[in-house]
Amino acid sequence: MSASSAFNDEKGGSSNVGEPEYGHDPASGGIFSSDYKRHDDLKEMLDSNKDSLKLEAMKRIVAMIARGKNASDLFPAVVKNVACKNIEVKKLVYVYLVRYAEEQQDLALLSISTFQRGLKDPNQLIRASALRVLSSIRVTIIVPIMMLAIKEAASDMSPYVRKTAAHAIPKLYSLDPEQKDCLIEVIEKLLADKTTLVAGSVVMAFEEVCPERIDLIHKNYRKLCNLLIDVEEWGQVVIINMLTRYARTQFLNPNMNESLLEEGGGEKAFYGSDNDDDTDDEEDKEEKEKKKTEATAIVKRKPYVMDPDHRLLLRNTKPLLQSRNAAVVMAVAQLYFHLAPKAEVGVIAKALVRLMRSHSEVQYVVLQNVATMSIKRRGMFEPYLKSFYIRSTDPTQIKVLKLEVLTNLANETNISTILREFQTYIKSNDKDFVAATIQAIGRCATNIGEVRDTCLNGLVQLLSNRDELVVAESVVVIKKLLQMQPEQHSDIIKHMAKLTDNIQVPMARASILWLIGEYCEHVPKIAPDVLRKMAKTFTNEEDIVKLQIINLAAKLYLTNSKQTKLLTQYVLNLAKYDQNYDIRDRARFIRQLIVPTDKSGALSKYAKKLFLALKPAPVLESPFKDRDHFQLGSLSHLLNAKAGGYQVLPDWPEAAPDPSVRNVEVPEWTKCSSREKRKEKKADKPFYSDSEGESGPTESADSASDTASGSESGSGSEESGSGSESEESNEDSESASEEDEEEEGKKKKKNVEKIKARKPVPESESEPSSGEEVKKSEKKSKPRIGSSESESEEDEDSESESSESEEEESEEESEEETKKKKKTTASKPPSKPPKKENKKEKKEMSLLDFDDFDPAPSPSQVTPLNNFLSSSLVTDLEGLSLTDNVLSPTTIVPSGNLKTYELLHRITGEGLSVEYCFSRQPFSPDPHMVAVKIQFTNSATSEAKSLHVEDAKLQSGMRIKEFPEIEVLPAGETVSVVMGIDFCDSTQAANFQLCTHTRKFFVSIQPPVGELMMPIFMTENEFKKEQETLLQSLGQLMGMNEITEKLTLEEKCQGEHAVVQRVTTAANLSRVPCGSDKECSPPVPPPPFPIHRFAGKTVTSGSLVLVSVVTKEDGAAQLTVNCEKMVIGTMLVKDILQALTQ
Amino acid sequence: MIHSLFLVNSSGDIFLEKHWKSVVSRSVCDYFFEAQERASEPENVPPVIPTPHHYLISVLRHRIYFVAVIQSEVPPLFVIEFLHRVVDTFQDYFGVCTEAAIKDNVVVVYELLEEMLDNGFPLATESNILKELIKPPTILRTVVNTITGSTNVGEQLPTGQLSVVPWRRTGVKYTNNEAYFDVVEEIDAIIDKSGSTITAEIQGVIDACVKLTGMPDLTLSFMNPRLLDDVSFHPCVRFKRWEAERILSFIPPDGNFRLLSYHVSSQNLVAIPVYVKHNITFREGSSQGRFELTLGPKQTMGKGVEAVLVSSQLPRGVLNTNLNPTQGTYTFDPVTKLLSWDVGKINPQKLPSLKGSMSLQAGASKPDENPTINIQFKIQQSALSGLKVNRLDMYGEKYKPFKGIKYMTKAGKFQIATR
């Protein structure tokens, strides 16, 4: 209401039309007063205290500005309000200020301090808007202030402010071009910016200020290519256009060979026509040489390899063909047209054809470009021929352009359909269009020899059309066609001669006369008659026709002077007194030339030659030919004239400039790779350092919590108080020594020393296992081992079991109980969660650490250890050592065996590389999640900030527990974190975004089936029982839960150890100690063909997974997997099979 | 880039001007008016007009010319596309984009233009962001504003421009969470006089109206994504996902937006849903011509053809017509020679027809022009190409949204040659 009233008021005031409306406007008190007075009124409102009045006044003022009315006399009153609190008033004041500041420079300065204050505001949006307005005020005196503000804003924290700074650069440049050098510095700085928000704006500034400084782009080229898809659409257009130019200067022509061949071919034809036969020996030496060099050039250049950067540009722009923004699509299309190898240009056709559905203005521009392209690359648009068919509803300018494209696309195969289309067009209402169609037919006829006669016949039929325009256009076109082969068409010429009676269009009459004159020898009888008729009407003809009559007369006089002498004289006499001096001149000239007199000069001898010379046939060319020397899609191309500020698209360089200029980062990249090696080393480290707390901050925190957890567990469980703690430290030392051991190779001496030093440890280590073993084999032993249990680190369920054992006396029951317990406690199985909150897990921590420390290539390492153990311990423990052996490498797979997967490559991650592995440790915050260890390595030069997970796209039921945000990752550093993923027992990938402070990466983690489970410990008896219950649970459907595969083990794989190793690597299962069901019998030598059993359960649902490998002779084996989840079972069988047979 | 913008109405008045750099005199538009005079039809004004110092790039929408003044080289499509975006924004804000609406909201228009361009370079063109900056006028707000003097300008500064999802405003809340998708297909066809199809293609769009709380992440999958030959997306659609899985995955903007437009290639045989029997004859020497037209449905998959409108430009020689429609109403404008027949729904049992005679100029020879018949129609609840949405899933938010998908087929440029 308010705005409209203001507007009406304004309108009334300016045009005196809407006077009745005046009365309705309560706000304008001084309706009937003059402009001057009304402005007084506005001033009053602006000076009032009420925001509403100020707003009202400003709205009316803005309405005035919009109408183009002068409101400059209000400047002082308005500028006072620049610091107004009301946002809308403020905004409108800004609008006013920007509009009139130029005219009132002195007063405008009053407002500057407000903006300077705004530049310091803590809110980025206020900073940005202050800079925006400040830079829009075109007052030269504040140039230094603007420069300062831009420089400051260019290094602002907020990318939005930096974007505004980029926008301000061209503003300042247009105000004061002398600041160019300073501004280029700022541009250079902003070009290095890595945010998509800034990229488009700064390239825009670059294009306006220093488009010639292509060298500034080198370093940023790859970054721009990679950012491109995320830049806002307008920025994309600018960047793509700039990169097109850049690529033209930096890369080699991908079509070099073809174009050379083509040119060669073309030249050949050219010479051929000269020489009749170009394989003739008569070829000049020069020519031969030329060919030779050409040939060598071709040979020399044959191995063209596209610069990877060139490829990068093509690849990264291609998806943008799908943009909804026509300008972006066009930009990509022109980039492909100018830069892509011929074979690849085709992809743009579809997108361009799609644009033809858009608004007619878009169509207009696109068709212009398609017309140019279709000359060079006809094949590209041929499949879309029908999309260029013309509808009666198209605007004429679109019709004509479509016609142009259709003509360009015409060739021998499609000409018949095109001509049929053309026939319908000729019947159109739109005469301009019909004329264009006839010309198009003419062009088709000249270009395609096969249809020339058809076209000519068609055109001749048009000569009897009722519409004069059509006939005239046809005549003109026929004239051009006949010039090509006049001999065969004297009939047509005769026919046309008759038309002179009817056709009034001067151009057509002139054409006919010219034709008859030119080919008067073919129509010797008719020609003089035509001249006779023309002489009769000479005075009434148009000038252009008169000239042709004179021409005709002259030609006839030269060929057939007998019949036409008098006529010619007559015509020339008429012309002599014509009003048009051109005609008078022509008449005088011709008379001198052809009528021999005494005075006539030497020229008259040549009159015949002059007039009847063979004239070359006109070439009907597309007006779009060679327009592609302008960059397509540009304004200059559209106008076919260079527009101001147009940057010429350079030609391809002869030889590629040094591609390494773009590699400014090369030293860094190589550094990266070396760093990566280091990182690889480091990658192992966390496993060690976890407890040692020597490297990254997170790890040290981890280790701290480790020890804390140890003590906690001590206080928590009375029995396993200090023992566990001390043990832990023991273990630590052990692990450290072990690590040393590994690092220093297997120097025996040291080894022995170490082992000795470790002596107490193995004892404590083996003790619990022995206890456990004993306990499990003879169920009665439980109470007895209670104490040892408390010490035992390896026994996962020690705590529960011990408490259980105290309560329960009955063996069977306890057995049952433990089993159940195991099931429950197994949800916190033996492995190291990074963040421990759970006491039980705390306790297991040390064990896990130990296992982690167990160096990677464990087979070689573990075996000697076991040898040692077996030799040093009493014989009855020997069998147990085997269990130990099994337990340590299998229940918890040594970290070194963990396969790491790549999550983010450092190139796509812009220096940030991310790998993950399944750490096979329980994820403490949620036992139903799989722990995934993620390792970040920052190989970029700048630090990465706020690494976090965002925006997870999960299949239903899947959940993610994100890792805590990593605030800063300094350059060159590596950090690992653990996140939990509940895969719902499926191998579906978990997709999420990995975000840094600048970028987001889509990543996904897909678990191998073996990682979806965790080991549980059970005895062989239990195993068998479970297997049975599993089989029976489905009752009738026996086979459902069991999958059996026969396989042949490879030789390498036949050993027990190898089998265990491979199975446990493939799946996170624990080995079921074998032979333990033999009632604690004295150590038997392992059976020759043992059965290996493994147990585990799925992480999410806790379904049991039982695997047994029955080995037989000659490496034959049978693999059985029992699992409720059939899918998991099937997949697991496959995986294990693969692991065993490889 | 864009220096100034002038809005010109159909009678040739400049009713709004806006300058982003220094002021360009409105006399520059004289070149535009010249071109306008030269053009026979309003849509034949060339979109790009060079003048000695400037270039004028214009678009015509809703009978208003939006004339942008530029001074130096710039991709013309860039300007054209931007101008269309401006019109779309106006339409979004005011419901219609007419001269009256723009005049009534001149301040909002000015504020919008100020935000959309900075120094002639587009700044904020996403409607979600603009709406955060400048509230669209509603009747209620206009009343309230007049009374309280409050503003259309958003109180808080928007965060959208800074967010990683620049097309969606933050803090969206709805009590009813709903997401509607309209699959609208337009069939373009040229049919020759014998009734055989010369060219036919289907262009489709999926327009969405999504009103969901928070930051929902949607995936839309199709039963038959292969049909889509060529697609263009709203920037919110994750291109990689489409490439890999043919699934549309996106965080939608708030409110109405065009998710996708696609093209079904002409290789797939397009079923033409209607047929026309026509018999338009002029006899030599007679001042009468016969006109017969019958419409019928064809391959409509059992759905009714509605809102049928037939129009035809008759030859100039026709003075008047005397026709009888079996249903609907017909009009003939003797000045423009435009015949239009509002048929309504086609009843397959009783086919609509229009028969009668045309009177020609006495003595004139028979016209040899070729009147074409343009047809508009709608078919509800079916997408002609057979495209079907399989499912729509939402992630990232807990609530259950109400989802709806509607299909419709329309005639685009559907043209039949008669002779």
pLDDT at B49 over 90: yes
pLDDT at A487 over 60: yes
What integer is the mean pLDDT of A789-818? 45
Smallest CA–CA distance, residue B303 to chain A, in Å, is 26
B369 vs A contacts (CB less than 8 Å): 427-429
A21 and B CB contact within 8 Å: no
- The string of pLDDT tens digits covering residues B340-382 is 999 888 888 888 999 888 888 776 667 766 688 899 999 888 8
A431 and B CB contact within 8 Å: no
Token look-up 């080894």 returns A751
Smallest CA–CA distance, residue A364 to chain B, in Å, is 8
- Is residue A437 within 8 A of residue A403, CB to CB? The reply is yes
When CB atoms are compared, the residue of A319, A365, A641 closest to B77 is A365
Smallest CA–CA distance, residue B349 to chain A, in Å, is 32
Distance of CA A913 to the CA centre of its chain: 19
Under an 8 A CB cutoff, do B72 and A644 touch? yes
- Is residue A351 within 8 A of residue A333, CB to CB? The reply is yes
Token look-up 């061209």 returns A170
Task: Name the percent of chain A lying above pLDDT 90.
Answer: 8
pLDDT at A359 over 50: yes
Determine which of A359-373, A595-609, B320-334 has the lowest per-residue pLDDT on average.
Answer: A595-609
What integer is the mean pLDDT of B135-144? 67
| Residue A358 pLDDT level (bands cut at 50, 70, 90) | confident
pLDDT at A271: 39
pLDDT at A303 over 70: no
Mean pLDDT of chain B: 85
β-strands B121-122, B48-50: how paired? unpaired
Per the model's pLDDT, the better-predicted residue between B413 and A779 turns out to be B413
Global pTM?
0.65
Under an 8 A CB cutoff, do A201 and B15 touch? no
Per the model's pLDDT, the better-predicted residue between A173 and A306 turns out to be A173
What integer is the mean pLDDT of B335-339? 86
pLDDT at A333: 94
- The string of pLDDT tens digits covering residues A377-415 is 888 888 888 889 998 888 999 999 999 999 999 888 888
A1071 and B CB contact within 8 Å: no
A357 and B CB contact within 8 Å: yes
Structure tokens at A768: 């619990």
pLDDT at A875 over 60: no
Determine which of A180-194, A226-240, B143-157, B177-191 has the lowest per-residue pLDDT on average.
Answer: B143-157
Under an 8 A CB cutoff, do B231 and A322 touch? yes
A170 and B CB contact within 8 Å: yes
- The string of pLDDT tens digits covering residues B215-258 is 889 999 998 888 887 888 888 888 888 888 889 999 998 888 89
Q: Which helix (H) or strand (E) holds B412?
A: strand B402-417
A 613-652 residues with CB below 8 A of B? Answer: 633-636, 638-639, 641, 643-647
Structure tokens at A116: 């300077």
B151 vs A contacts (CB less than 8 Å): 55, 86-88
pLDDT at A279: 39
pLDDT at B66 over 50: yes
pLDDT at A713 over 50: no
pLDDT at A844 over 60: no
Q: Which residue of A has its CA nearest to B419?
A: A424
Residues in chain A: 1142
Determine which of A237-251, A989-1003, B43-57, B101-115 has the lowest per-residue pLDDT on average.
Answer: A989-1003
Task: Name the percent of chain B lying above pLDDT 90.
Answer: 22
Under an 8 A CB cutoff, do A466 and B234 touch? no
- The string of pLDDT tens digits covering residues A65-123 is 888 888 888 888 888 888 787 777 888 888 888 888 888 888 888 888 888 888 888 88
Determine which of A837-841, A951-955, B90-94 has the lowest per-residue pLDDT on average.
Answer: A837-841
Optimal mutation site among B106, B125, B197, B233, interface A, most CBs of chain A within 10 A: B106
Under an 8 A CB cutoff, do A951 and B119 touch? no
pLDDT at B84: 94
Pick the most confident of A455-469, A590-604, A728-742: A455-469
B19 vs A contacts (CB less than 8 Å): 99
Under an 8 A CB cutoff, do A633 and B77 touch? yes
A140 and B CB contact within 8 Å: no
Please report the number of interchain residue pairs, chain A to chain B, with beta-carbon separation below 8 angstroms.
Answer: 265
When CB atoms are compared, the residue of A160, A365, A386 closest to B199 is A386
Count CB-CB contacts under 10 A for residue B200: 20
Q: Residue B155: which region, alpha, beta or left (left: phi > 0; alpha: psi -120 to 50)?
A: alpha
Smallest CA–CA distance, residue A515 to chain B, in Å, is 29
Residues in a beta bridge with A912:
A938
- The string of pLDDT tens digits covering residues A1038-1092 is 556 777 888 777 776 667 777 788 888 888 888 877 654 444 444 445 556 678 8
Nearest to A885 by CA among A860, A918, A906: A860
- Long-range (24+ apart) CB contacts under 8 A made by B150-159 are B151/A55, B151/A86, B151/A87, B151/A88, B152/A88, B152/B107, B152/B108, B152/B111, B153/A87, B153/A88, B153/A91, B153/B111, B154/A87, B155/A87, B157/A123, B157/A125, B157/A126, B158/A125, B158/B129, B158/B132, B158/B133
Mean pLDDT of chain A: 72
- Residue A536 burial by Cβ neighbours in a 10 Å radius (0-12, 13-18, 19+): exposed
A352 and B CB contact within 8 Å: no
Helix (H, G, I), strand (E, B) or coil at A133: helix
With a CB cutoff of 8 Å and minimum separation 6, the contacts of B93 are B105, B108, B112, B136, B137
When CB atoms are compared, the residue of B217, B235, B249 closest to A233 is B235
Q: Which residue of A has its CA nearest to B370?
A: A427
When CB atoms are compared, the residue of A66, A168, A389 closest to B190 is A389
- The string of pLDDT tens digits covering residues A207-265 is 989 988 888 888 889 999 998 888 888 999 999 999 999 998 888 888 876 655 444 43
- The string of pLDDT tens digits covering residues A927-969 is 778 888 888 888 777 777 777 887 777 777 777 888 877 778 8
Optimal mutation site among B107, B314, B373, B416, interface A, most CBs of chain A within 10 A: B107
pLDDT at A755: 46
Under an 8 A CB cutoff, do B419 and A50 touch? no
| Residue B56 pLDDT level (bands cut at 50, 70, 90) | very high
Structure tokens at B48: 């790009």
Q: Which helix (H) or strand (E) holds B344?
A: strand B338-344
Q: Is the dihedral of CA A744, A749, A752, A753 positive or negative?
A: negative
Under an 8 A CB cutoff, do B73 and A326 touch? no
When CB atoms are compared, the residue of B58, B81, B121 closest to A325 is B81
What integer is the mean pLDDT of B269-275? 80
pLDDT at A733: 44
| Residue A471 pLDDT level (bands cut at 50, 70, 90) | confident
| Residue A771 pLDDT level (bands cut at 50, 70, 90) | very low
Determine which of A530-534, A783-787, A966-970, B310-314 has the lowest per-residue pLDDT on average.
Answer: A783-787
Under an 8 A CB cutoff, do B74 and A392 touch? no
| Residue A562 pLDDT level (bands cut at 50, 70, 90) | confident
Helix (H, G, I), strand (E, B) or coil at B124: coil
d(C-alpha A937, C-alpha A676), whole Å: 8
- Is residue A211 within 8 A of residue A244, CB to CB? The reply is no
pLDDT at A712: 41
